[in-house]
Every structure is written in structure tokens, then in C-alpha cells.
Amino acid sequence: MAHYKKKFEPNQELSDLFNKLWDLDDNRCEPGEHYTLDKGGYLKSSRDMTKDFAPDPLFSWVDEDKVFSKPTYKHFIALFDNYTAETGEQEVVTKEEFNENVKFIDAICETELMKEAHSFLRDKGKAPGPVGEFKKLLYKLWFKLYRRTKGDRDFDSSGFEHVFVGEVKGEDVIGFHNWICFYLQEKAGNIDYHGYFRRGTSLEKEPRFITLQFSCKNNRGKPIGGSFIGTSPEFEVALYTVCFLMDIGSKVHIQLDEYDVEITIYGHADGIGTAYPTSLE
């Protein structure tokens, strides 16, 4: 396997933590057991969206009964229909939606994985000790509304919407870095998977990270985007939250299990602006 030169060594402290979280992730999905993929062909350029090297969907099968019945997945998926896709359009959080947000945070904070992440952040002085205060911090980082585009008058976005659900800006999808939402949108026929990029994708048969391209029914789609595959909602929230709160830059190089990974994360208006993984293999 070809490797390109790494600019930085992995952050050992965060690598150790994230490997512990990886091992604690009882809700992580395993290839062949919970899902199967059809990667199709690989793409060479993100500039060309006219070529489709994947005649079939990316996800051949997902065991929805087993996976989506788990509390954190169930509460996670319940949030997907709470948002207006277009940037620049006012988001309104109803009482029901607020309660759904809170239930999701409550559910992930019950997991040993998130408890470990909270303990790490507390000991580093990056998060409050009481669980209730930590939950408020998570709500602020992920669900507090903000203006994504400078000059917009309306509060049209949030970290959760951008990273996990995705948004539409002009003709392009922005954000949208979650495999569960991708699967559900693909299953509904709303997106057409074009193939993957070799650089930025773990290249084993069933990758844990993928960099891909897709088109949409109602807009151009996304020329290039990346996400984990098979990870639980709580793992992704914990990893991105730790990277953000540790404030060590917009690019974090970690060694995760046998994978060499770069986490890209940017803040926006005191919350999460964007976050996604890229395989460095």
C-alpha cells in the first residue's frame, strides 16, 4: 500500500484516549455483521461530477432492526427531520425538537464511552465536572443555533445540523459527514453515490473511513466529503467534542486502532462549525 509523507506525528495523548473510546464503543457496527458496502469504482478528481463509477448504492445492507433500535441510534435518527436544509433560512427549535435534542444528549451520556470522554475533559479543566453542566456544554456546542454565512440575519445552522445532517448552500451540499444519515438518504433515493477517492479512504474491503462523491435529486450534491463508517453516534460526538475543547488546532493527527487518521475540526460562533475524519493511509 502506498503512503504519502506525513507532516506530523500522531498526538499520543489523544490517540490513547480515542483508542480507549474505540474499545468502549459497544454500539459500534461491524462490517459483515451489521452492514455491507459496495464501494464501486474510485474517482480521480472532485471537479468532475458527470462520471458515476458506482452503479449500485454504497450500502448493500444494514441490519436496521438490530442497529437502529439501540437507544443512542434511535434518538440520533429522530433529530434528522428537525432542520431546514437551505442555509440562510431561519431554523426554529420547537419544544418537541428541544426535548429530542435533550434525550439524545441524555442517551449518549449514559454510555461508558461518553463518561470516559467527560472524565478526560474534566481532568484537563476543559469541561465542568457535574454531569448536568457537561450536558449543557454539549448542547451549546452541538445544538445552539448560529448564523453560518456572514451577513445573514437568520440563525440558520448548528454544529449538529452541519456535521451530521448536512446543509444545502446554492447547488452544493455542505457538511454531511455521517454514515447513518447517508445510508438513510441513499435508501430513500435522495442521493446517488458516485464512488470513492483512494486518498482519504481506508482501502480494506470494508473501510472504516471513506472519502466519496454523490449527487442529489434537488441539487448538485457534494463533490468530495468524508465520514467514518460503522461508528456509533456517541463515539463521533465524543471524539469531535474532545478535539474541539482541547483547542490544539484545526487538524489533529491520531492513531486509531490500526488506522492513521486526521481529524479536521473548526469552531463557529462558540460551537462546532465542521468536523470530519480523513484516512492518512
Domain that holds residue 111: 12-279
Query: Considering its fold, how many domains does the chain have in total?
Result: 1
Alpha carbons 120 and 239: distance in angstroms, whole number = 12
For the entire predicted model, the pTM comes to 0.95
Candidate from 75-79, 181-185, 200-204 with smallest mean pLDDT: 200-204
Is residue 162 in some structural domain? yes
CA angle 167, 144, 235 (to 5 degrees): 75
Indicate which residue of 135, 162, 194, 253 is catalytic.
Answer: 162
Instruction: Note the pLDDT of residue 152.
Output: 67
Instruction: Note the pLDDT of residue 227.
Output: 97
Please give the mean pLDDT across all residues of the chain: 94
Higher pLDDT, 218 or 101: 101
Is residue 7 in some structural domain? no
Indicate which residue of 222, 251, 253, 268 is catalytic.
Answer: 222
Average pLDDT, integer, range 203-222: 92
Average pLDDT, integer, range 237-264: 96
- What does the DSSP 8-state code read for residue 66? H
Cβ(116)–Cβ(24) under 8 Å? yes
Cβ(40)–Cβ(280) under 8 Å? no
3-state secondary structure the chain: CCCCCCCCCCCHHHHHHHHHHHHHCCCCCCECCCEEECCCCEECCCCCCCCCCCCCCCEEEECHHHHCCCHHHHHHHCCHHHCCCECCCCCCCCHHHHHHHHHHHHHHHCCHHHHHHHHHHHHCCCCCCCHHHHHHHHHHHHHCCECCCCCCCCCCECHHHHHHHCEEECCEEECCCCHHHHHHHHHCCCEEEEEEECCCCCCCCCCCEEEEEEEECCCCEEEEEEEECCCCHHHHHHHHHHHHHHCCCCEEEEEECCEEEEEEEEEECCEEEEEEEEECC
Alpha carbons 265 and 58: distance in angstroms, whole number = 25
Confidence of residue 217 (pLDDT cuts 50, 70, 90): confident
Confidence of residue 46 (pLDDT cuts 50, 70, 90): very high
Confidence of residue 1 (pLDDT cuts 50, 70, 90): very low
Indicate which residue of 39, 75, 135, 177 is catalytic.
Answer: 177
Sign of the Cα pseudo-torsion (31, 35, 40, 43, in order): negative
Is residue 133 in some structural domain? yes
The pairing of beta strand 259-268 with beta strand 271-279: antiparallel
Active site residue 222: yes
Confidence of residue 203 (pLDDT cuts 50, 70, 90): confident
Alpha carbons 30 and 17: distance in angstroms, whole number = 21
Whole-number percent of the chain with pLDDT over 90: 88
Please report where in the chains the cell 475543547 appears, as a residue. 245
Instruction: Note the pLDDT of residue 151.
Output: 65
At residue 5, does pLDDT exceed 50? no
At residue 3, does pLDDT exceed 80? no
At residue 225, does pLDDT exceed 70? yes
pLDDT digits (tens, 9 = 90+) for 141-175: 999 999 987 766 789 999 999 999 999 999 999 99
Confidence of residue 8 (pLDDT cuts 50, 70, 90): low
Q: How many residues does the chain have?
A: 281
Active site residue 34: no
Instruction: Note the pLDDT of residue 268.
Output: 94
Is residue 67 in some structural domain? yes
CA neighbours within 13 Å on the CB side: how many for 216?
19
Is residue 1 in some structural domain? no
Candidate from 1-15, 107-121, 173-187, 212-226 with smallest mean pLDDT: 1-15
Average pLDDT, integer, range 258-267: 96
Is residue 5 in some structural domain? no
Is residue 71 in some structural domain? yes
Q: Would you state the torsion angle of the CA atoms of residues 267, 269, 270, 272, taken in this order, to the nearest 10 degrees?
A: -40
